[in-house]
Structure 1
Amino acid sequence: MSAEVLLSQPHYDSGAMAQGALQEQGAPFETSSGLASAGFRSAKYTPAEWFSGYRSLLQQAGADHQAAQNIQEESRQMRNDTEATTMQTQTDGTRLLGERLQDIHRWKSELQEHINRLLSDTTALLALKLRLEKALDATETPYAIAVDNLTCRSRRLGPDLVRDCVEEELYKEVDLIKNVQALLQRTIAQVTTQIKLNRDAKQALEFDWSDKYEAYALDLKCGRFTNKSTDTQHHGISAAMMEQMSNVPSWIKFTQDNLYRAFREEKASKDLSELGQQVLLDTTKDLRVQCSNVDQAFLQRCGEQMDAKIQLEMQFKQTLEQIGAQERNIVALQKAIDDKDAPQRVVESRLFQRFRRPNMELCRDEPQISLEGEVREIDETLASLHQELRDARNSLANLENDRMALEKDIKCKSYSLFIEREKCMTQRKLYPTISKLSGY
């Protein structure tokens, strides 16, 4: 509204005020002549003043009327324009809210998908961790078996206490089990770390999803507001909170960063799961192969010991037979020596008696020569028999030593076979199966 309309109209109720107003407007002031009428004319207007007054009123009213019409036209035009603009702006705001709801729903759906993937990956890793822990526990049995086998075999006797192929394979098995246990422990640690990373990434996604869920509900509520809604009210502070808001690029980047982190952990979980499966497969295969090698070495060693024991027993039996024969031979030699005593006494008696022949009768005749030869023959025979007897007794002593050595070695082989078969190989039947070593 113009300033002219807002001004108050002047009133000419008193002559003094009218006169002052006319003087301010520059209107000519005419003085009346005559002293007698001065007091009566001082409060009256002239015709010119009268015409000027009402014409001024008419002119002012006409100007105010025109200004009012202009203002009314501008107001009507402004109402129409602002109504259309407001409705268009509200329509655009509703449309943008709808598009925003679609964006939020799309990101929320993608977040939910990755949350489900991380949950599935974490569940799979937990199952893998349980298998790895069971597989690690299962390695304690073969380790105890291998160590006990080495301990039992260390109690072998004398000549059988050798570092044979069985012992070499047992040491290989112990080293392999230790390496497998270390590998399983490292893999369990990696799986545990990955599970924590998955849970952290899943928690970040859940927080983001929860925020988007709440924002979706709020924007959906905002989108349902209309001019006829009864639950709307003025919030003058809303515009002042703009500085606390994030922008669209940062909003998108925040969610994309969370999704990228989730994707990275999903890939790491998949790679680690494949690695864990391969570790279980390889370790189980290696342990079973080494177990077969040890069992094969035990069988081979037991076969060698059995062959040696059989040969020793056969030799022991032959030695016993030889001892019996030698003992009989010694008895026969002793009897032969004893049997030479009578002929020796006879020939010596003959020679002694013949030495008593007198004078020329003491002659080396044929009987004398024969008797002397017989003495020499008996002496040589006795010497040979005594030497043979000594040899036979030495042989019998050697055979007795062989018998004791063979008997000792047979006992040693029997004890070794007992350790190998009854102790070690029986205990190795408790070796875990493939499924148990695989963590099932």
Structure 2
Amino acid sequence: MAQPDEPQPAVVPSCPLPSKICDVVRSERPRSCCGMAMAGFRTAKYQLPEWHRRNTGVCYEAFTAGEQAERGRAQAKRLVKHAAASAQRAQQYSKATLGQRLQDTHFWRMELQKEIMELDAETKLLAAQKLRLERALDATEVPYAVVVDNLECRERRQPPDLVIDEVERQLLKEADLIRDIRDLLKRTIIQATTQIRSNRIQKENCELDWSDKVETYHIDDKCVGYCTDSTNVQFHPSSVKFEENASTPKSWAQFSHDNISRAEQEKLASAQLRSLINSIIHDASEELRMQRAASDEAFGIRCRELHDAKVRLEQHLQQVLKDIGEEEANIVNLKDAIRDKEAHLNVAHSRLYDRSLRPNVELCRDEPQFRLVSEVEELTVFLEALKRKLTESEQNLKNLEETRMKLEKEIAVKANSIFIDKQKCMSYRVRYPVDLKVASYKQ
């Protein structure tokens, strides 16, 4: 149906039309009435009906061509208008979808950028915690060296002080504790290193995704700015196709969602590891502090025990030295007494001998004779008793001398043990770090 503003086609009067314009019946030639003389004029001519039919056919063909051309123009005009409106609508719709796509890309780009910044900050915090672990591990070297030195120094104690006492048990326990702490710190450092590597890998994945989003945003933003008046638009027929490796909107969004989800998981694992590191350093510091206090207390108790034992030994030594002096004086007195009694015995023996030389009847058993015999017997008994006492005193003196040497040796041993525990060990333990937790922050 023609549009109202379009011109109506002209009305052509109806006339009988031949089926073909040039439908000339050449078989019905006009009969020659003039004989052979007119043959050349008759062969090239048509009949009058044929001429009318042909003229009518030409007119109809012209009318039909004009009408068809007019319909084509009307259709072309309608097509141009429809194509223009459709192209405008399609361009606006494409621009709107590109705008929506820009918003989606901007959203994921900002989410990725946020995750990258948070993951980078978390990685820095974890790296700081790892540095604390390394410093704490370095700080355990001094306590371990102190404990090993204490154990080696106490190996130089002399018997009988070379005993497995409470100090040695506490030092061995302390050495085992420090080794366990060092092993735990080393394992945690490895775990932190692995987590930092995972954080950086995931950060790199997010950065690659973010970089693609930025590039895509610029491309789509450039596409939004294209219009028919743009000078940089070209005809690219080869781009009208879908790439085989192209993603779908669902897989596109899922890819960024998965990257962000993995980044969140790494951040959570990193935060949990940082909390674990804090707990490890705090607990290790407390355990080491308590064990150090126990070892110091054992050292104090042992030093007091050694000092008390040394004082008691010194007191006994003083008493033994006094006893030795008295025993030596006693021996001297005994020897003097023996010499004195031997002199008296010699006098008595001499008297008896001389009186045995009395002649004849003068050799009488008189009272002096009995008295001298009694005196000899009495002196002999005293001499034997004095000699026995002298032998006993000499043995006692020998025992006292042995006791003195033992006491002096024991005192020397105790002095050596006190020197090792108090001067060598306890003075060296002053270098012990006060707090492993504080040491982990020191530069």
Same fold (TM over 0.5): yes
Distance 1:318 1:439 in 2: 59
Matched with 2:440 is 438
Q: Which residue identity lines up with residue 185 of structure 1 in the other structure?
A: K
Deviation, 1:323, is 0.8
Distance 1:113 1:123 in 2: 15
Matched, 1:187 2:188: yes
In structure 2, do the counterparts of structure 1 residues 381 and 27 end up closer, same or farther at CA, with 3 Å as the change threshold? farther
**Percent of paired sites with the same residue:** 43
Distance 2:279 2:440 in 1: 10
- Of residues 393-402 and 62-71 in structure 1, the stretch that sits farther from structure 2 once superposed is 62-71
TM-score by length of 1: 0.90
Q: Secondary structure at the match of 2:31?
A: coil
Matched with 2:67 is 66
Deviation, 1:295, is 1.1
Q: Which residue identity lines up with residue 353 of structure 2 in the other structure?
A: F
Matched with 1:5 is none
Deviation, 1:278, is 1.4
Matched with 1:302 is 303
Distance 2:105 2:242 in 1: 21
Q: Would the aligned equivalents of 2:433 and 2:439 in 1 still touch at CA under 8 Å?
A: yes
Q: Unmatched 5+ residue regions in structure 2? A: 1-20
Deviations 1:97-120 (A, max 9, x none): 011111111111111111112111
Deviation, 1:207, is 0.6
Distance 1:373 1:195 in 2: 113
Q: Secondary structure at the match of 1:340?
A: helix
Matched with 1:394 is 395
Q: Would the aligned equivalents of 2:342 and 2:383 in 1 still touch at CA under 8 Å?
A: no
Deviations 1:217-273 (A, max 9, x none): 000010111122121111111114533422222222222222222122112111211
Deviations 1:372-408 (A, max 9, x none): 3322221111111111111111111111111111111
Q: Would the aligned equivalents of 2:29 and 2:43 in 1 still touch at CA under 8 Å?
A: no
Matched with 1:16 is none
Q: How does 1:88-167 map to 2 (within 5 A)?
A: 88-167=89-168
Matched with 2:10 is none
Q: Secondary structure at the match of 1:23?
A: coil
Distance 1:326 1:345 in 2: 28
Matched, 1:351 2:318: no
Q: Would the aligned equivalents of 1:284 and 1:438 in 2 still touch at CA under 8 Å?
A: no
Q: Would the aligned equivalents of 1:169 and 1:290 in 2 still touch at CA under 8 Å?
A: yes
Deviation, 1:360, is 5.7
Distance 1:244 1:354 in 2: 153
Deviations 1:340-363 (A, max 9, x none): 123222332333344445556555
Q: Which residue identity lines up with residue 79 of structure 1 in the other structure?
A: V
Deviation, 1:32, is 4.8
Q: Secondary structure at the match of 2:243?
A: helix
Matched, 1:376 2:377: yes
Q: Would the aligned equivalents of 1:112 and 1:209 in 2 still touch at CA under 8 Å?
A: yes
Q: Would the aligned equivalents of 1:138 and 1:436 in 2 still touch at CA under 8 Å?
A: no
Q: Secondary structure at the match of 1:242?
A: coil
Distance 2:367 2:124 in 1: 122
Q: Would the aligned equivalents of 2:181 and 2:284 in 1 still touch at CA under 8 Å?
A: yes
Q: Would the aligned equivalents of 1:281 and 1:438 in 2 still touch at CA under 8 Å?
A: no
- Of residues 347-356 and 153-162 in structure 1, the stretch that sits farther from structure 2 once superposed is 347-356
Deviation, 1:437, is 4.2
Distance 2:359 2:400 in 1: 56
Q: Would the aligned equivalents of 2:313 and 2:407 in 1 still touch at CA under 8 Å?
A: yes
Distance 2:286 2:253 in 1: 49
Q: Unmatched 5+ residue regions in structure 1? A: 1-19
Q: Would the aligned equivalents of 1:194 and 1:269 in 2 still touch at CA under 8 Å?
A: yes
In structure 2, do the counterparts of structure 1 residues 65 and 145 end up closer, same or farther at CA, with 3 Å as the change threshold? same
Matched, 1:219 2:214: no
Matched, 1:418 2:419: yes
Distance 2:42 2:27 in 1: 17
Q: Would the aligned equivalents of 1:132 and 1:439 in 2 still touch at CA under 8 Å?
A: no
Deviations 1:302-360 (A, max 9, x none): 10000011111111111111111111111111111122123222332333344445556
In structure 2, do the counterparts of structure 1 residues 27 and 428 end up closer, same or farther at CA, with 3 Å as the change threshold? farther
- Of residues 176-185 and 234-243 in structure 1, the stretch that sits farther from structure 2 once superposed is 234-243
Distance 1:202 1:22 in 2: 87
Distance 1:430 1:436 in 2: 15
Q: Would the aligned equivalents of 1:329 and 1:392 in 2 still touch at CA under 8 Å?
A: yes
Q: Secondary structure at the match of 2:24?
A: helix
Matched with 1:56 is 57
Q: How does 1:302-381 map to 2 (within 5 A)?
A: 302-357=303-358, 362-381=363-382
Q: Would the aligned equivalents of 2:22 and 2:54 in 1 still touch at CA under 8 Å?
A: no
How many pairs were matched up? 420
Matched with 2:4 is none
Distance 2:27 2:423 in 1: 147
Distance 1:386 1:426 in 2: 57
In structure 2, do the counterparts of structure 1 residues 270 and 316 end up closer, same or farther at CA, with 3 Å as the change threshold? same
Distance 1:21 1:120 in 2: 94
Q: Secondary structure at the match of 2:244?
A: helix
Matched with 1:77 is 78
Matched with 2:255 is 254
Distance 1:33 1:212 in 2: 98
Deviations 1:34-75 (A, max 9, x none): 325444444444432232122112211221122122212222
Distance 2:97 2:267 in 1: 34
Matched with 1:33 is 33
Distance 2:235 2:183 in 1: 68
- Of residues 245-254 and 219-228 in structure 1, the stretch that sits farther from structure 2 once superposed is 245-254
Q: Which residue identity lines up with residue 438 of structure 1 in the other structure?
A: S
Q: Which residue identity lines up with residue 133 of structure 1 in the other structure?
A: E
Distance 1:65 1:27 in 2: 34
Matched, 1:279 2:280: yes
Q: Would the aligned equivalents of 1:133 and 1:439 in 2 still touch at CA under 8 Å?
A: no
Q: CA RMSD in A?
A: 2.1
Q: Would the aligned equivalents of 1:114 and 1:259 in 2 still touch at CA under 8 Å?
A: yes
